[in-house]
Amino acid sequence: MRLPWELLVLQSFMLCLADDYTLHGPVFIQEPSHVMFPLNSEEKKVKLNCEVKGNPKPHIRWKLNGTDIDIGVDFRYRVVEGSLLINNPNKTQDAGTYQCIATNSFGTIVSREAKLQFAYLENFKTRTRSTVSVRQGQGMVLLCGPPAHSGGKL
């Protein structure tokens, strides 16, 4: 006897197959989100997600601040299944707004903008931090922990 959920699984599997065989323009499965890269992190890479389906298989490009990233030129960059991996991210070179662009013969789609920022924990606070004033040596409680020293503003 076949259980109903098995039928459901089979059905969605077949829908999925049908979808894969139908020619269609690129569609985002996952778009990049803002990334805050902690300057003091152990992790030496950043991943900006982008996952696209389409038939024919879409070609994926990335833009940084509106300019195409030439993946081949900088060895720190890699595109894996559409997602952008940056090794040894560097604030000077990599901070900015990223977009993923997917193209096939049916058209082109452009993802939302995802900001890559470099910061110490204190930058997780809202931008209206100026309302908080603390004298040196005075105790202060922040929900995300005490602010660390920061080398400069973004």
Interface residue list for ligand NAG (CB under 6 A)? 64-65, 90, 92-93, 95-96
Query: Judged by CB, which is closer to ligand NAG: 25, or 96?
Result: 96
Which residue's CB comes closest to ligand NAG? 96
Query: Judged by CB, which is closer to ligand NAG: 137, or 151?
Result: 151
Q: Residue 122: left if φ>0, alpha if ψ -120 to 50, beta else—which one?
A: alpha
Q: Is 7 helix (H, G, I), strand (E, B) or coil?
A: helix
Identify which of 82, 32, 87 has the alpha carbon closest to the alpha carbon of residue 61: 82
Query: Judged by CB, which is closer to ligand NAG: 52, or 116?
Result: 116
Contact 96, 64 (CB under 8 A): yes
CB of 92 to ligand NAG, least distance (A): 4
CB of 123 to ligand NAG, least distance (A): 14
CB of 97 to ligand NAG, least distance (A): 6
| Token pair belonging to 126 | 């809202």
Taking the C-alpha atoms of residue 96 and residue 111, their distance in angstroms, rounded to an integer, is 15
CB of 93 to ligand NAG, least distance (A): 5
Query: Judged by CB, which is closer to ligand NAG: 76, or 78?
Result: 76
Taking the C-alpha atoms of residue 94 and residue 84, their distance in angstroms, rounded to an integer, is 12
